[in-house]
Amino acid sequence: MPDFTEKFDATGLNCPLPILRSKKVLSSMNSGEVLYVIATDAGSVKDFDSFCKQTGNELLESTEADGQYHYYIKKT
């Protein structure tokens, strides 16, 4: 599990809120810092992957455990 700077709990939120709110948190962070997001929206797996590809941020890790999805995003 990577170290993280900020944590955002997106559990219970549905598309597109996990992405939109995570983006907001990322905007307040510095380059090189890592955001840890927890979500329950199954569609967010592909969405976070896609979000990172398009915005140039690095998706360090994307895992699922007990119906929860964990993302570690490094801001570029």
Partner 1 sequence: MAEKKLALIATKGTLDWAYPPFILASTAAALGYEVQIFFTFYGLQLLKKDLNLKVSPLGNPGMPMPMGMDTWMPNIVTALPGMEAMMSAMMKSKMKSKGVASVAELRDLCLEAEVKLIACQMTVDLFDMQPAEFIDGIDYAGAATFFEFAGESDVNLFI
Catalytic center residues: 15
Q: For residues 1 and 31, which CB has a smaller minimum distance to partner 1 in the complex?
A: 31
Q: 41 and 13 in contact (C-beta within 8 Å)?
A: yes
Nearer to partner 1, 15 or 28 (CB): 15
Tell me which of 4, 5, 6, 16 binds partner 1, using CB under 8 A.
16
In angstroms, the CA 34 to CA 45 distance is 18
Q: Can you point out the beta strands (E) in 19-66?
A: 34-39, 58-65
Adjacency order of strands within the sheet including 6-10: 6-10, 34-39, 68-74, 58-65
Binding mask 51-70 for partner 1 (x = CB under 8 A): x--xx---------------
Residues that bind partner 1 (CB under 8 A): 12-17, 19-20, 23, 40-41, 51, 54-55
